[in-house]
Amino acid sequence: MQKTILVLGAGKSAIYLLEYLRDHSKTENWNLTIADVHTSHLKKDFPTANLVDLNLVEQVDLLHSHIEQASIVISMVPAFMHPIVAKACLTYHKNLLTPSYVSDELKAMEADVIAKGLIFLNELGVDPGIDHMSAMQIIHHLKDKGVHITSFESFCGGLIAPESDTNPWHYKFTWNPRNVILAGQGTAKFLVDGQYKYIPYHTLFERTDTFHIEGYGDFEGYANRDSLKYIESYDLHDIQTMYRGTFRRPPYCNAWQVFVRLGMCDDSYVYERNTKLTAASFVASFVAGDAHLPIAERFKQHLEKEAKTSLYPMFEYLDLFNEETEIPQNCQTPAQILQFILEPKFALAENDKDMLVMLHQFKYELAGVSKSLTSSLVVLGEDKIHTAMAKTVGLPIAIACKLILNGTIQDKGVLIPVKPSIYEPIMQELKSFGISFVEKEA
């Protein structure tokens, strides 16, 4: 009997997912339906797929109709829309896969999901996703040897490959730019040597640690919002250090902290206008100093006060002080305006390649001896479409979809991929796509 896979969302991170499902459709006897706001651009590469133009919020009846016809649903839409999809999946008894963090709304559905014999498998991309699966492989392997894990640190970053690193920020957008602008907001919480640590957003990017990946150099990591919840998820209840974070190349964090402290990443209010708004006038509204001086000079003075004068070329590169760059009316918050200014400067060029870097660091005790283990992953993209980010986000979801449909994965509930029954077959197949870790013990 032919099974129908419904994919909701066909953005930048979905290309490997869609190609995997397309390429396996004939041998697995699948029917593929792809729904997005606009799907005409998919006709050439997905000629046998059922393409549906769908506005998920405005066309709820159409959404329900396609979910009812599906055998399984993959939701690649923005995270806030997942509950809409999940409720419909419950109504029509359909399994659901997402790459996003488990929300409280989804977690509240768990009793109903189990009662209906379904799996809502979340956090199945790269971070979260491959980070969970690769970490749990090591954790279970170490525990099987009878070790006591005392410390776990994990960092991941979507960056630019060395050969495409052409700007002083050593960074380009390889995933949703809005998420980059808003990254780190809230308070970061983690555990170090038994001490709970809290970093408020306004100091987050100045509290970094440096890590070295052989063959790729140094990276700096800043803390993710809540590392503490993974003590439970990873079953590491007596661990002394639990620290998860994000990688950037130095001196990105030191410079980004300037935007944060000025308030230019704020998304909580509408930026009022009483005249034409340009990049230069936007920056000027956040920087103190003599209004008769050019904004570039005032910005330099601000950097001098922050002891960051050497970073000026990074901000100059962004065309922040351009009087000709007019900000459109639909950019309403400071964060949206900053995103508009940065997107052209951080865009991937046609032949650019991105890079996904992940690092796990474990410390443990075995027979009274302290040891350490590092596990690292570097994945390079092919071009601006077939990116490392899209590859590592999309393939775990595609593989999990196949494993659920063929009965290999039979777990039920609102889950993340921390069980061997889920992560082992996914990680095994990922190796065939060049997604494999390098481990070193000391």
Cα–Cα distance, 398 to 85 (Å, whole number): 18
Strands 72-75, 50-53: pairing kind: unpaired
392: in domain: yes
* Residue 114, domain member (yes or no): yes
Q: What is the CATH number of the domain that holds 52?
A: 3.40.50.720
**How far is 142 from 229, CA to CA, in rounded Å?**
21
pLDDT of residue 298: 97
pTM of the model: 0.93
Whole domain around residue 94: which residue ranges? 3-126+387-437
Model confidence band, residue 442 (pLDDT cutoffs 50, 70, 90): confident
- Above 90 in pLDDT, residue 175? no
Residue 82 lies in a domain: yes
Could you report the per-residue pLDDT of 293-352, keeping only the tens digit for each? 999 999 999 999 999 999 999 999 999 999 999 999 999 999 999 999 999 999 999 899
Residue-level pLDDT at 274: 87
| Tokens representing residue 301 in the block | 């003075």
What is the number of domains present in the chain?
Answer: 1
pLDDT value for 40 = 94
Distance CA 392, CA 4 (A): 24
Instruction: Give the chain's mean pLDDT.
Output: 96
Query: Residue 430 falls within a domain, yes or no?
Result: yes
CA dist 76 → 13, 305, 350, 393, 413 (Å):
8, 44, 24, 10, 19
Question: 305 in a domain, yes or no?
Answer: no
Report the residue count for the chain. 442
Give the C-alpha separation, 359 to 159, whole Å: 14
Residues 409 and 397: beta-carbon distance below 8 Å: no
The pLDDT value recorded for residue 126 is 96
- Please give the pLDDT value at position 1: 82
pLDDT digits over 18-59, tens only? 999 999 999 999 999 999 999 999 999 999 999 999 999 899
Write the Ramachandran bin of 368: left for phi over 0, alpha for psi from -120 to 50, otherwise beta. left
Evaluate whether residue 31 is within a structural domain: yes
Distance of CA 205 to the CA centre of its chain: 18
Tell me whether residue 307 is in a domain: no
User: Does any domain span residue 17?
Assistant: yes
